Homo-oligomer: A and B are copies of this chain.
Amino acid sequence: MKKEFVRYIRSLQDTLTEALEAVDGTATFQEDQWERPEGGGGRTRIIENGSVFEKGGVNISEVHGTLPESMQTYFGVQDANFFACGLSLVLHPKNPFVPTVHANWRYFEMYDQQGDIVDQWFGGGLDLTPYYLFEEDVIHFHKTCKAVCDKHDDSFYSNYKERCDSYFYNTHRNEARGVGGLFFDYLKKTPQRSMQDWYDFVTEVGDSFLEAYLPIVKKRKDLSYDQKQRDWQEIRRGRYVEFNLVHDKGTLFGLKTNGRIESILMSLPPHVQWRYDHHPEPGSEEEKLLNVLQHPKNWV
């Protein structure tokens, strides 16, 4: 399973960066290979200053070794060894009408002292963060998510959609980071479902990413925008930073356990603004977005 999923994320990284470069048309991904002193490493691919993508990363990592202390406490185990691998991506488009997107698919194994697997699970998802609300775009994104889910279980979409809404939530602002998508974790073997079943589900979600996101990019990337709309995008990006640095478990875990900082913080947007007590004008397009973020809704 480990080998199979590693092979999958490596190949998916190639597929994604190639397709994204083709859409961008100008910039290419720069690759950094890195090693983790305690075991494993990763392949970080970053795009900057593109025609479409102002900043983004499509990163994979495979790490293993002794479970860091903070994670031992978290999982309630002692002296365990682990293996973890995954693909993480964040794309911050230049045009405020193109939404930011985040996705992640990961696999985790935990071993006893004899090296036998004592626990294993998949996790991940994908979610969309628009600056302006085009309902048809959000519906398209969620429909794609739902179609993959429905192939596996009728309950998956509503379940993982709801978990996405509650996870990517800035509690200190009382608003969602974006318009959601899917979020799942601890997908473990059950009497009804094998690890192979979960593998099939997670990889099919991964395979659906371009279909979920690219049509939106293509439809909006050439719309013209003004400085006010760009300012709004940069202010909203501030909320993205707030979520990632204050609430996101993966980011904080990485920062506090000596992860590769530059690969983790590739998620932060290139240009960001904070203004004191900023509120969009009543009835504006900006306020329309805020209303949806404050009251997450069903899109399909």
Q: Which residues of A contact B (CB under 8 A)?
A: 32, 46, 48, 55, 57, 171-173, 234, 238, 241-242, 245-246, 252, 255-256, 261-262, 265-266, 268-277
A276 engages B46 (CB within 8 Å): yes
- List the B side residues contacting A55 at CB < 8 Å: 274-276
A172 engages B256 (CB within 8 Å): yes
- List the B side residues contacting A275 at CB < 8 Å: 48, 55, 270
A255 engages B245 (CB within 8 Å): no
- A237: nearest chain-B partner, CB-CB: B272
B32 engages A277 (CB within 8 Å): yes
The binding surface of chain A is classed by DSSP as mixed
- A246: nearest chain-B partner, CB-CB: B245
A182 to chain B, nearest CB (A): 26
Q: Return the contact of A241 from the options B32, B173, B241 (Cβ within 8 A).
A: B241
- A252: nearest chain-B partner, CB-CB: B246
> In the complex the two chains form, what is the Cα distance from A241 to B246 in whole Å?
11
> In the complex the two chains form, what is the Cα distance from A117 to B48 in whole Å?
57
> In the complex the two chains form, what is the Cα distance from A46 to B262 in whole Å?
33
- List the B side residues contacting A265 at CB < 8 Å: 242, 274
Going nearest first, the 6 A-B pairs with the smallest beta carbon separation are A245-B245, A268-B274, A172-B255, A262-B277, A272-B272, A46-B276
- List the B side residues contacting A48 at CB < 8 Å: 275-276
Query: A57, A256, A275: which has the most chain B beta carbons within 10 Å?
Result: A275
B277 engages A274 (CB within 8 Å): no
- A262: nearest chain-B partner, CB-CB: B277
> In the complex the two chains form, what is the Cα distance from A172 to B246 in whole Å?
14
- List the B side residues contacting A266 at CB < 8 Å: 276
Known interface pairs A246-B245, A246-B252; A273-B273 also in contact (CB < 8 Å): no
> In the complex the two chains form, what is the Cα distance from A269 to B255 in whole Å?
22
> In the complex the two chains form, what is the Cα distance from A171 to B256 in whole Å?
8
A261 engages B172 (CB within 8 Å): yes
A278 to chain B, nearest CB (A): 9
> In the complex the two chains form, what is the Cα distance from A186 to B265 in whole Å?
34
List 21 A-B residue pairs with CB atoms under 8 Å apart, sorted by A's residue number: A32-B277, A46-B276, A48-B275, A55-B274, A55-B276, A57-B276, A171-B256, A173-B261, A238-B268, A238-B272, A241-B245, A241-B272, A246-B255, A262-B276, A266-B276, A269-B274, A270-B273, A270-B274, A271-B272, A272-B272, A272-B273
- List the B side residues contacting A238 at CB < 8 Å: 268, 272
A70 to chain B, nearest CB (A): 13
- A238: nearest chain-B partner, CB-CB: B268
A256 to chain B, nearest CB (A): 7
- List the B side residues contacting A271 at CB < 8 Å: 234, 271-273
